[in-house]
Homo-oligomer: A and B are copies of this chain.
Amino acid sequence: MQLLKDRIRKDGKIKEGNVLKVDSFLNHQMDVKLFQEIGKEFKRRFEGEEITKILTIEASGIGIACVAAEVFDVPVVFAKKTQTKNIAGDVYTTKVESFTHGRVYDIIVSREFLGKGDKVLLIDDFLANGKALEGLAELVKKSGAELVGAGVVIEKGFQVGGDIIRSKGIHLESLAIVESMDEKTGEVVFRN
């Protein structure tokens, strides 16, 4: 998606340890006009697929998922990272290792909102080591719903997540795949 690649080149910041900061438009400040274009592009890439629900994970996936859901005309469910007293005990749960936070946490989705008959598209902002998407796919599997595919905004092509997800036979669409980044020159190379 050229608009997105241009925006990453213009506003993305490369930090030590292969961190790509896109928090000026994607995951802290959020450019909802860009999200609308992202939503349309996901719709185009999953054209012909029947999708009844979008599943994402808090927090930075939620905004993108909601704006995309308007294009798909389906509801969103977001997996929560900790158990709160507002969530009933009746949940699907799995463990996810966070690259950003360097720890393991539980993700949960209420059984009420995911189950047989749902055709689910996963949406997230980043794909790096693939742990979050794997966790979401696991929740879909546990629920008996059908996993249609996964759409991510930025894939770090030099990390293993994309390969892992594709090797599971999941239809993965990444709108920008970063092949390499240079912290010193600020150059970002995308996969064609």
Contact = CB atoms under 8 A, between A and B. Distances in A.
Interface magnitude class on chain A:
35 or more
A77 B28 contact: yes
B77 A36 contact: no
Contacts of A23: 86-87, 110, 112-113
Interface SS of chain A: mixed
B28 A78 contact: yes
Interface stretch (A59-67, A133-141, A167-175, A177-185): A59-67
Interface of A: 19, 21, 23-25, 27-33, 35-36, 58-59, 62-63, 65-67, 69-70, 73, 75-78, 80, 82, 84-87, 100-101, 109-110, 112-113
B86 A59 contact: no
